[in-house]
Structure 1
Amino acid sequence: MKRTIKHFLSLFTAVILVNCGNSGSLQGYYVEHQETKNFISQDFPLSMIEIDKSQFSEEQKEAYASVDKLNFLGYKASDDNVEQFNAELAEVNRILSDSKYQELMELRDKGNKISVKYIGTDDEADEIVLFGSSKDMGFGIVRVLGDNMSPDKMVTLIHALQKANIQEKQLDDIMNFFK
């Protein structure tokens, strides 16, 4: 009996160590860096952001309703941390290059890059990741978490949010961090 308990505890410990030591995941990256110098981390439910949904299509309303919360992690670039910025940017790019992240869309403009990826199937995403980087400002990652999120509907929601009148003061903490 002692032997069985000992084997069980060894197996349990190994599983915990493997799961906790998964620093190759985006979630692991968040946990490791959320209180690190030059980083800002903020979690908030989508309901905290006041958005006028009156112009949304039914598809956009469904997509909006499927989102529960957003996890934001940002890194502020400066002349003093160029080497660290490049290392952190390379690490995030390495994580997001994993085959489990499927490309939804990507935009590039004058050294700035925004990409949207997701984990899941074409019909249902478990997680949507928005990643933007700029050599002048730094980078930001938003993990979109929810239930029954559809990648296609999320693209239409992103387009609607770009046109939406979002109160800037709701995002002041994040925007001030990058100034």
Structure 2
Amino acid sequence: MQRTIKHIVLVFSLAIAFVSCNDGKSLQTYFVDNQESSNFMTQDIPISMVKIDESKFTEEQKEAYNSVKRLNFLGYKTEGTDVEVYKAELAKVKAILSDKKYNDLMEFSDKGNKIIVKYIGTEDEADEVVIFGSAKELGFGIVRVLGNDMNPDKMVTLVSAMQNANVDENQVQDIMNFFK
């Protein structure tokens, strides 16, 4: 009897171990795996360091902005790289973002640049918002937006407001210089 219980506990433990191990790539592991690679650039930006003129934000946009705590950026520059390597890295990111845990929020194209915004969470609360942009001649960039009580609908209005916001370019100069 005691031997049977030991076997049941062992099988149960192994089952839990196999279920909890996930071989699928996550965006977080992709960031970590590539942070030291030569064609990649990573930067963690606390939102408190990004000074944005909020005076023209609606209450909804201010609430969305205040729910954001940190931005993680990963950029890949195509300059000096093999086109096939770029396509392979782009395919890896697209495969990660095609996982069903990423919900579509918005997508648009502008002058050959493609922007995709997705989120992880529910319709009422996003745990993480992901902004992915790519351009053949420059490369691609991924921003993981992390915070508390982020509402996906409000984040859409924030993204549109940020397009017209007065952002001090000195704050993101390293990122801009990376793609030059």
Sort the TM-score into its range (normalised by shorter chain): 0.7 to 0.9
2:21 to 13, 18, 37: 18
Q: What is the root-mean-square deviation of aligned Cα atoms in Å? A: 2.4
Distance 1:110 1:159 in 2: 17
- Which position in structure 2 is the counterpart of 1:96? 97
Specify the SS of the correspondent of 1:89.
helix
Distance 2:62 2:48 in 1: 13
Change (3 A) 1:92 1:47: same
Kindly state the Cα deviation for residue 81 of structure 1 after the two structures are TM-superposed.
2.2
Is residue 23–residue 29 contact of structure 1 (8 Å, CA) maintained in 2? no
Kindly state the Cα deviation for residue 37 of structure 1 after the two structures are TM-superposed.
1.4
Per-residue CA deviation, residues 125-144 of structure 1 (Å, 9 max, x unaligned), is: 01000000000000000000
How high is the TM-score relative to the length of structure 2? 0.87
- Which position in structure 1 is the counterpart of 2:143? 142
Residues 115-126 of structure 1 mapped to structure 2, 5 A cutoff: 115-126=116-127
Aligned length: 174
Specify the SS of the correspondent of 1:80.
coil
Distance 1:113 1:70 in 2: 20
**Unmatched runs of 5 consecutive residues or more in structure 1:** none
Specify the SS of the correspondent of 1:165.
coil
Residues 1-179 of structure 1 mapped to structure 2, 5 A cutoff: 14=17, 18=21, 22=23, 24-179=25-180
Distance 2:68 2:113 in 1: 26
Q: What percentage of residue pairs aligned between the two structures are identical?
A: 63
Distance 1:130 1:101 in 2: 11
Kindly state the Cα deviation for residue 158 of structure 1 after the two structures are TM-superposed.
0.9
Letter in 2 for 1:154: M
Specify the SS of the correspondent of 1:24.
coil
